[in-house]
Amino acid sequence: MPTLQQFRYLVAVADHLHFRRAADAVHVTQPTLSAQLRELEGKLGVQLVERARGGVRLTPPGEQIAARARAVLRDVADIVALAQQGSDPLSSTIRVGVVGSLGGYFLPLVIPALHAAHPRLTFYVREGWAADLLTRLRDGALDALFLPLPVEAADLVAAPLFHEPLHVVLPADHPLVGRDVIAPGDLAGEVLMTLESGHRLHDTVAELAQATGAHLSLDYEGTSLDTLRQMVATGLGLSVLPALYVRSEVAREALVVARPLAAPQPGRDIGLVWRRQAVQGSAFGTIADLIRTTLARDAPEVRVIG
């Protein structure tokens, strides 16, 4: 009989179409993953994957079985959550996904309040790209996500939490440091650096560059907000970074300075997302309410919504 772990390995291969990346995603070695897939194929009596140089693809039966395996894994996760719901869903571990441009400075703001209100509530946190996190949510590998909105899908619930404005971050010796507020025209001709393509923030900054006459840097893209801040400090260009990150990391820096943009100020909406059928739905609503209350009290840089 196939095991749930073997189903997880098959789903990982279906997601990544690459053995090494799939093995990294499920935290095993590539030989272990390959051996377990061969064992699964032996149990089912059918070839699931076709191995080739540099990658892998699923056979037609493999695609169908991987889709069923996703549903099985999701149902098992819901069974576990249902058992926890029988006691107290806010006294268990919730598996949370968060985009890398948010987690490091947002979670420290809200975790203390959540822990104070629900001392037995714990979080397993995974950072990643939005598309990958959404796949893991639908598969049941994660319970809820903190993501930029909108997230429009019939099978998901998105609870808005807050609007986060974006600020211009400049080298401390840049001429625009003398301005209290940066007007759109001030950015004309400037080089704006942002995250790699695929991040929602990249698209927002690209739109700002086009609207203001700034030059979007494609040669020097950041892999994280920290790398963008460090590149600004060396004088490679300017960047546009979220207000909570500015509060956490830029305000204490001597080499970079942040200034707000004039209205209409660009920004992003952040929400809590979960599966519509999730048995912890009411618990997630409670968590969202507590986060809004905490941010309204402790983070004047953002505007609470929802």
Domain stops at, among 80, 114, 134: 80
23, 53, 80 - which closes a domain: 80
Q: List CB contacts of 160: < 8 A, sequence separation 6 or more.
A: 149, 269, 270, 271, 305, 306
Residues 6+ apart with CB under 8 A from 110: 290, 291, 294, 295
Q: Are residues 108 and 203 in the same domain?
A: no
| CATH number (domain holding residue 52) | 1.10.10.10
Domain co-membership, 66 together with 210: no
* Residues 261 and 201 placed together within one structural domain of the fold: yes
What is the radius of gyration, based on Cα positions, of the chain?
22
Q: Are residues 112 and 152 in the same domain?
A: yes
pLDDT tens track of the chain, all 306 residues?
889 899 989 988 888 888 888 888 888 999 998 999 999 989 999 999 998 776 788 999 999 999 888 888 877 877 776 666 556 778 788 899 999 889 789 999 999 999 999 998 999 999 988 888 998 898 788 999 999 999 989 999 999 999 999 999 999 999 999 999 999 899 999 999 999 988 889 999 999 999 999 999 988 888 899 999 999 999 999 999 999 999 999 988 899 999 999 988 889 999 999 999 888 888 999 999 999 999 999 999 999 998
280 and 150, same structural domain?
Answer: yes
Q: Which domain holds residue 207?
A: 163-267
**Whether residue 167 is found in the same domain as residue 260:** yes
Q: Are 167 and 234 in the same domain?
A: yes
Distant-in-sequence, close-in-space partners of 200: CB < 8 Å, separation ≥ 6: 99, 130, 148, 268
Looking up residue 131, the CATH number of its domain turns out to be: 3.40.190.10
Residues 225 and 105 in one domain: no
> Encoding tokens for residue 1?
């009989």
Q: Are residues 179 and 258 in the same domain?
A: yes
Q: What is the pLDDT of residue 82?
A: 67
Question: Same domain, yes or no, for 175 and 261?
Answer: yes
pLDDT at position 21 is 85
Domain count, the chain: 3
d(CA 13, CA 63): 10
Domain boundary pick from 58, 80, 102: 80
**Quick one: pLDDT at residue 84?**
63
Predicted pLDDT at 282 = 87
Are 273 and 157 contained in the same domain? yes
Considering the domain architecture, whether residues 280 and 255 belong to the same structural domain is answered as no
